[in-house]
């Protein structure tokens, strides 16, 4: 399949050219024509999430670093990353990174684990972030810090980065094949799920003791929480009906509320999905959807149209948000798809990660899709505080778009992922009226995704001197060279 032609944003001279490009391509993304600093900036406005006040609209999205100790505690790399998250000026820290609730649910052998033995270290991680935040903005007032709790389910690799040890909830006709999961591979039993549920509860209690303001019960990106939402074909208490597929969430939330009423609960979820994509056989290696022959109606997705699973269907995501509202959850973070099976949906990029494929669309279309769906959901749930995702591809135009989406109510807060690894203070520079550092802007090279796929720590190898000059950078270079041969 020929690669779609599109203009790389680095080739657009200024915001006027960017706005013109959006119009020409008929891509609907609101965009201001100038940056606003100081108190008048939409980014500087505070917002209330229940009884919590958040001092501005900037959110540090969770990002794992693959750099914890084998027993799940942070290392100096982790401390450095959290320090940079704090210095970003974001007043809402969404979990820092996914922290596993138990060893066998780690996505990699270096993922952090939340339990009694890591509590003090995770508390120190939080304190490091707060100290850096105070140094950057002068005060930690209205700073809200959460921890993202996870079990990696189908994507568990707790003991070796190159050995998958999946914990699956049902057999998926495409993902099982891709992961070489045989037909007789056991699915987690209801009893095993109840034990995991208990681990989420215990981990939340430890997070509260370590001083975190909230926990996110992660439901995105193909991990266990997300797979629960699509367990249409599973029998028993946790599969089939919407009620059963959300039982895990309801029970975790109820247990946490009962034991720790002051700990807030948040949920990040993949609000829509599409089928898994793979490379086509051409030299272009363009992304194409896997075949769904014989699989329609498609019963293995959440937020997808069962008759045409390339299209989103928001009816269940809307029910899910109604449920969150009923459960007293006020903070919601909207993401999409999975970095494993459809990265162009989840984190639009100019350059694919090593296990990805060339973008099957202008990555701006991917950014616009997440924005549009976030807007639709926000309109239906004005009382929820909604965080939007996937803005980093916008590069130097990100702040212009961020101002516009907040002013026009497309989202309440703008979440920064990759941009934070490359240029943590981008939006703070805007609020403080400092010129943008173009050289630091994330260009979506995807090295922060490629490195961990090879067992190396994640970080911004092209732009962050700490990684650029490391011995891991040489290993990454060799690995990429070998792939292109
Ligand atoms: C290296 C890396 C690690 C990530 N780790 C997590 C994670 O632990 N939890 C999570 O919910 N999302 C994770 N994400 C997804 C980001 O939070 C974000 O949704 C995604 O990168 C798209 O936003 P962006 O365009 O600002 O990068 C990760 C992304 C990257 C690049
Ligand atoms: S490696 Fe750096 S430039 Fe590349 S996507 Fe990650 S943060 Fe952006």
Residues 127-137 have pLDDT tens digits of 999 999 999 99
Distance between CA 271 and CA 303 in Å, rounded? Answer: 6
Yes or no: say if 392 and 419 are a contact pair by the CB < 8 Å rule: yes
Q: Residues 66-92: what's their mean pLDDT?
A: 97
pLDDT confidence of residue 200: 98
Please, are residues 384 and 334 in contact by the beta-carbon 8 Å criterion? no
Instruction: Give which of 293, 338, 327, 287 is closest to 154, Cα–Cα.
Output: 338
Q: Say yes or no: CB of residue 429 within 6 Å of ligand 2.
A: no
- Is residue 441 within 6 Å of ligand 2 at its C-beta? no
- Secondary structure of the chain in the HEC alphabet? CCCCCCCCHHHCCCHHHHHHHHHHHCCCCCCCCCCCCHHHCHHHCCEEECCEEECCCEEECCCCCCCCCCCCCCCHHHHHHHHHHHHCCCCEECCCCEEECCHHHCCCCCCCECCHHHHHHHHHHHHHHHHHHHHHHCCCCCCEEEEEEECCHHHCCCCECCECCCCECCCCCCHHHHCCCCCCCCECCHHHHHHHHHHHHHHHHHHHHCCCCEEEECECCCCHHHHHHCCCCCCCCCCCCHHHHCHHHHHHHHHHHHHCCCCEEEEEEECCCCCCEEECCCCCCEEEECCCCCCCCCCCCCCECCCCCCCECCHHHHHHHHHHHHCCCCEEEEECCCCCCCHHHHCCCCCCCCCCCECCCCHHHHHHHHHHHHHHHHHHCCCCEEEECCCHHHHHHHHHHHHHHHHCCCCCEEEECHHHHHCCCHHHHHHCCCCCCHHHCCCCCCHHHHHHHCCCCCCCCCCCHHHHCCHHHHHHHHHHHHHHC
Question: What does the pLDDT read at residue 283?
Answer: 78
For the stretch 8-59, pLDDT in tens is 998 899 999 999 999 999 999 999 999 999 999 999 999 999 899 999 999 9
Please state the atom number of ligand 1 nearest to the C-alpha of residue 389. Answer: 23
Q: Under 8 Å CB-to-CB from 357, ≥6 apart: which residues?
A: 277, 278, 279, 280, 285, 286, 287, 288, 344
Residues 94-112 have a mean pLDDT of 97
Name the residue at shortest CA distance from atom 2 of ligand 1.
63
What local confidence, expressed as pLDDT, does residue 1 receive? Answer: 60
Taking the CA of 447 as reference, the closest ligand is: 2
The pLDDT, as a whole number, for residue 2 is: 63
Ligand nearest to the CA of 394: 1
For position 484, what pLDDT does the model report? 65
Does ligand 2 have an atom closer than 6 angstroms to the CB of 58?
A: no
Longest dimension (CA), the chain: 60
Q: Is the pLDDT of residue 117 over 80?
A: yes
Lowest average pLDDT, out of 93-97, 228-232, 282-286, goes to: 282-286
pLDDT tens digit string along 389-407? 999 999 999 999 999 999 9
Q: Which ligand is nearest to the CA of 65?
A: 1
CA of 219 from ligand 1 middle (Å) equals 13
Mean pLDDT, range 71-82, rounded to an integer: 97
User: What pLDDT, on a 0 to 100 scale, did the predictor assign at position 285?
Assistant: 85
Q: Is 456 in the pocket of ligand 2 (CB under 6 A)?
A: no
Q: Is 476 in the pocket of ligand 2 (CB under 6 A)?
A: no
Q: Tell me which residue has its CA closest to atom 6 in ligand 2.
A: 448
Q: What region does 6 belong to: left with phi over 0, alpha with psi -120 to 50, or beta?
A: beta
Question: Across the strands, what pairs with 59?
Answer: 92, 415
Distance in Å, CA 465 to ligand 2 centroid: 12
Q: In ligand 2, which atom is closest to the CA atom of 459?
A: 1
Grade residue 485 by pLDDT with cuts at 50, 70 and 90. Answer: low
User: Pocket of ligand 2, candidates 353, 442, 461: which has the most ligand atoms within 8 Å of its Cβ, to mutate?
Assistant: 442
Q: Which ligand is nearest to the CA of 67?
A: 1
Sequence-ordered list of residues with C-beta below 8 angstroms from that of 389, at least 6 positions apart, any chain: 61, 333, 334, 335, 336, 370, 374, 415, 417
* pLDDT of amino acid 129: 98
Please check the confidence at residue 264 and state whether its pLDDT lies above 80: yes
Report, as an integer, the average pLDDT of 349-353: 92
d(CA 134, CA 327): 33
Measure 390 CA to ligand 2 centroid, in angstroms. 13
> If you measure from the C-alpha of residue 65 to the centroid of ligand 2, how many angstroms do you get, rounded to a whole number?
13
pLDDT in tens, 415-431: 999 999 999 999 999 99
Report which ligand 2 atom has the smallest distance to the Cα of 446: 5
> Which of 443, 447, 453 for a ligand 2 pocket mutation test, highest count of atoms within 8 Å of Cβ?
447
Cβ neighbors of 332 (< 8 A, separation 6 or more) are 266, 267, 268, 269, 321, 324, 381, 384, 385, 386, 387
| Smallest CA separation from ligand 2 atom 2, residue | 460
Pick the atom of ligand 1 nearest to 458's CA: 1
Determine how many CB atoms are found less than 10 A away from the CB of residue 159. 13
Torsion of CA 188, 272, 334, 197, to 10 degrees: -10
Round the average pLDDT of the chain to a whole number and report it: 96
Q: Is 442 touching ligand 2 by the criterion CB < 6 Å? A: yes
Could you tell me if 419 and 426 are in contact, meaning their C-beta atoms sit under 8 angstroms apart? Answer: yes
Taking 80 as the threshold, does the pLDDT of residue 362 lie above it? yes
> What would the mean pLDDT of 67-80 be, rounded to a whole number?
97
């Amino acid at each position: 399949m020929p690669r779609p032609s599109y203009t790389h944003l680095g080739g657009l001279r200024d915001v006027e050219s960017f706005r013109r490009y959006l119009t020409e391509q008929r891509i609907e993304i609101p965009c201001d024509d100038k940056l606003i600093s100081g108190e008048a900036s939409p980014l500087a406005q505070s917002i209330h999430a229940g009884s919590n006040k958040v001092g501005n609209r900037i959110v540090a999205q969770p990002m794992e670093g693959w750099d914890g100790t084998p027993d799940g505690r942070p290392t100096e790399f982790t401390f450095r990353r959290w320090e940079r998250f704090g210095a970003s000026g974001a007043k809402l820290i969404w979990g820092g990174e996914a922290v596993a609730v138990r060893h066998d649910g780690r996505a990699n052998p270096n993922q952090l684990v939340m339990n009694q033995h890591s509590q003090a270290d995770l508390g120190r991680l939080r304190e490091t972030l707060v100290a850096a935040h105070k140094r950057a903005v002068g005060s930690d007032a209205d700073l809200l810090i959460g921890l993202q709790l996870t079990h990696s389910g189908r994507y568990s690799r707790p003991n070796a980065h190159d050995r998958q040890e999946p914990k699956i909830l049902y057999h998926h006709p495409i993902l099982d094949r891709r992961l070489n999961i045989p037909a007789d591979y056991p699915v987690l039993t209801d009893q095993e799920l109840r034990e995991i549920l208990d681990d989420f509860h215990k981990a939340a209690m430890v997070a509260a003791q370590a001083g975190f303001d909230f926990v996110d019960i992660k439901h995105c990106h193909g991990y266990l929480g997300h797979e629960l939402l699509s367990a249409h074909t599973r029998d028993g208490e946790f599969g089939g009906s919407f009620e059963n597929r959300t039982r895990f969430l309801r029970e975790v939330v109820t247990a946490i509320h009962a034991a720790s009423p002051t700990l807030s609960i948040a949920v990040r979820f993949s609000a829509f999905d599409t089928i898994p994509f793979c490379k086509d056989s051409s030299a272009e290696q363009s992304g194409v959807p896997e075949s769904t022959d014989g699989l329609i109606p498609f019963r293995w997705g959440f937020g997808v149209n069962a008759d045409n699973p390339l299209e989103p269907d928001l009816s269940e995501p809307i029910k899910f948000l109604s449920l969150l509202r009923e459960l007293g959850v006020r903070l919601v973070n909207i993401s999409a798809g999975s970095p494993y099976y459809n990265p162009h949906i989840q984190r639009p990029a100019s350059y694919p990660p090593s296990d990805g494929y060339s973008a099957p669309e202008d990555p701006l279309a991917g950014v616009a899709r997440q924005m549009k769906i976030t807007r639709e959901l926000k309109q239906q749930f004005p009382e929820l505080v909604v965080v939007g995702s996937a803005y980093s591809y916008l590069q130097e135009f990100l702040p212009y778009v961020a101002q516009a989406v907040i002013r026009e109510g497309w989202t309440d807060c703008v979440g920064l992922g990759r941009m934070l690894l490359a240029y943590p203070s981008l939006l703070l520079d805007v609020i403080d009226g400092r010129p943008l550092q173009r050289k630091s802007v994330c260009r979506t090279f995807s090295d922060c995704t490629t490195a961990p796929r090879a067992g190396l720590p994640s970080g911004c190898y092209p732009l962050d001197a700490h990684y650029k000059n490391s011995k891991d950078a040489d290993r990454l270079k060799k690995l990429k060279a070998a792939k292109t041969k």
